[in-house]
Amino acid sequence: MSIVVRTLSEQVFEIIRERIITGVLQRDVPIRQDALANELGVSKIPLREALARLEQEGLLTSQANRGYFVRPMSAIEADEIFALRLVLEPPAAARGAEGADDADRAATIAAFEALDSAASNNLASVASCNRSFHTALVRPSGRLLTTQLVERLTVLSERYVIAHLKPAGREDRAHLEHRDLLDAWLAADGPRVEALLSAHIQATLDDLRAEFGSELSG
């Protein structure tokens, strides 16, 4: 029975997460758990598990007697997330490139191809594919805590990544940047990987600052 509940919880988690990231769920409206459970055809147990997990991941907040709300996006949060990524991710990806074996390289190529495919036809899955690609660059570094921190930060980045990609032309630029980054990573060129990834993360942050000004709205 517990296996079934966990499976349902995971499915519900992914559905609600996608709705948050793509803006279907509005931040000022409480999530109506009864209606959502009926819509998804599940009981409240997997729904509550999914909502609790989404709160842990920073996508929802809960208020006493009011339930769950989508956590607002903010310029301050974007600055903090991407500043932390700039510190941790580029050197970790450089170490990953230098320590990767054939299995690591195959996994990273597969993650890039999945991201490329999602960018062409499914913007809703771009954020999760982007997270998988960036984490794949870091994982072979052999530093578990760093990898976990990077993955956590890329989870928190997902709504901002989608917002960043909405203006025309951004997807093409991101694809080229990822392609150059992958080539350097596969060549085990650590210094180039670090430089390219730093520039990529900084450019995304600069775009967000320019587009949303002093305060982002989600």
**How many H-runs (helices) and E-runs (strands) does the chain carry?**
9, 2
Listed in sequence order, the DSSP H helices in 57-166 are: 75-99, 102-121, 126-138, 144-165
- What does the pLDDT look like over 87-138, one tens digit per residue? 999 999 999 999 999 999 999 999 999 998 887 677 668 888 999 999 999 9
Give the CA distances from residue 67 to residues 21, 31, 61, 63, in Å, rounded to whole numbers and listed in that order: 19, 7, 8, 5
CATH C-level class of 75-212: mainly alpha
| Predicted pLDDT of residue 168 | 59
Sort 68 into a burial class: Cβ within 10 Å, 0-12 / 13-18 / 19+: buried
Mean pLDDT of 153-166: 83
In the CATH scheme, what architecture does the domain 2-70 have? Answer: Orthogonal Bundle (1.10)
Confidence of residue 188 (pLDDT cuts 50, 70, 90): very high
Mean pLDDT of 34-57: 92
93: Cα within 13 Å, side-chain hemisphere: 34
Comparing CA positions, the residue from 113, 117, 96 lying closest to residue 186 is 96
Confidence of residue 31 (pLDDT cuts 50, 70, 90): very high
- What does the pLDDT look like over 59-90, one tens digit per residue? 899 988 889 999 888 888 899 999 999 999 99
